[in-house]
Structure 1
Amino acid sequence: MSGIRTSAKAIIIEDGKILLTRNEDAQGTFYLLPGGGQRHGEPLSEAVVRECMEETGVLVSVGDLLLVRDYISDNHEFAEDDDDVHQVEIMFRCRIVKGDAHAGETPDIWQTGVEWVDVNELNDIRLYPAAIAEPLQRIARGERPDICYQGDIN
């Protein structure tokens, strides 16, 4: 792959639980924030709304940009599988305005569902990127993350 892919992600927290997509691979279950790739000519705010509908079946309103991370595959454990991938993920605070969370009509190929996960259990699950567990816990407590840009993390 050449170029840099931009991805818009949603941070949806209600009553101490965060909405994540549940996914399966050869190693088992893993979790991701809902969201995905931005299309050419599509504002990030529209990308995250579209992706949430596709993956979780909910309509969201988009709030503040809270976290940004790079994913440069050559620097992480999936370098063989994600050959030459460079993705920038922009994570927004979102709120559900319509619908109940369920696997959407066009989920990603490895997605098996959605799950509300207690934010205090984020360190106990296979979350990608794992390094955002602590910032997400801060957000759930009503705090802002210490820094927005998280670096090249997985």
Structure 2
Amino acid sequence: MRPIRNSAKALIIQDGRVLLTKNKDNDGFFYLFPGGGQEKGEELKDAVVRECIEEIGCRVNVQDLVFVREYIGKNHQFAEWDHDYHQVEFYFECMIEPGEAVGKGTNPDNAQVDVEWIEISKLSDIRIYPAALIEKLAQGSYKPCYIGDTN
């Protein structure tokens, strides 16, 4: 059994749009929030900054923690190949550092093909993980919360 993995994610919202990584698999395109695994000895906020450089090509200013989500693979549609995976994700509100431009990252994920600003009102039109955040973001004002084991 694999150990539980911590992942630090960036929630970057500007002008009614959210910045996401665009990825491709056998079913087509899907979107994720920028971020990834915390390294040993690394604070979560530093993991967010590093992952944003790797995936969206720019530094971010990390603000408050807004969501905590768990993903327990055996409970979801990918259980056939992801059954022993358990990840805890920490979503931080972030702002792009002044003078930084979004673009190609230094070390994007294997499935990542691009970065896109998506209107919050159109999030239900795309395949996004976790989909549970669509409703939270659509509310416009959200309070920090634990969203549980969701996909």
Answer yes or no: same fold by TM over 0.5.
yes
Looking at structure 1, the residues matched to 77 and 46 of structure 2 have their Cα atoms a distance apart, in angstroms, of 31
Moved over 2 A (4+): none
Per-residue CA deviations over 1:99-138 (Å, capped at 9, x if unaligned) read: 2111202000000010000000111100001111111223
CA contact (8 A) 1:103 1:112 kept: no
Measured against aligned partners, the alpha-carbon deviations of 1:56-95 in whole angstroms (never above 9, x if no partner) come to 0011000010001100000000012223000000000000
Question: Is the aligned partner of 1:136 residue 2:133?
Answer: no
What TM-score results when the alignment is normalised by the length of structure 1?
A: 0.94
1:30 equivalenced with 2:30 (yes/no) = yes
- The answer to whether the 8 A contact 1:11-1:91 is kept is yes
**With structure 2 as the length reference, what TM-score do the two structures score?**
0.96
* Cα separation, 2, equivalents of 1:33 and 1:103: 15
TM alignment of 1:41-52, pairs within 5 A: 41-52=41-52
Tell me the equivalent position of 1:19: 19
Separation in 2, partners of 1:91, 1:13: 12
User: 1:69 aligns to what?
Assistant: 69
Q: What do residues 6-31 of structure 1 show as CA deviations (whole Å, max 9, x unaligned)?
A: 00000000000100000000000000
Greater Cα shift, 17-26 or 75-84: 75-84
Aligned residues: 150
Counterpart CA distance in 2 for 1:84 and 1:28 is: 25
Letter of the 1:7 counterpart: S
Q: Which residue identity does 1:87 align to in structure 2? A: Q
Distance 1:144 1:113 in 2: 27
Give % identity.
Answer: 54
- Asked if 1:78 corresponds to 2:61, the answer is no
- Contact 2:72-2:83 within 8 A present in 1 as well: no
- Name the aligned partner's letter for residue 81 of structure 2: D
1:117 maps to what in 2?
118
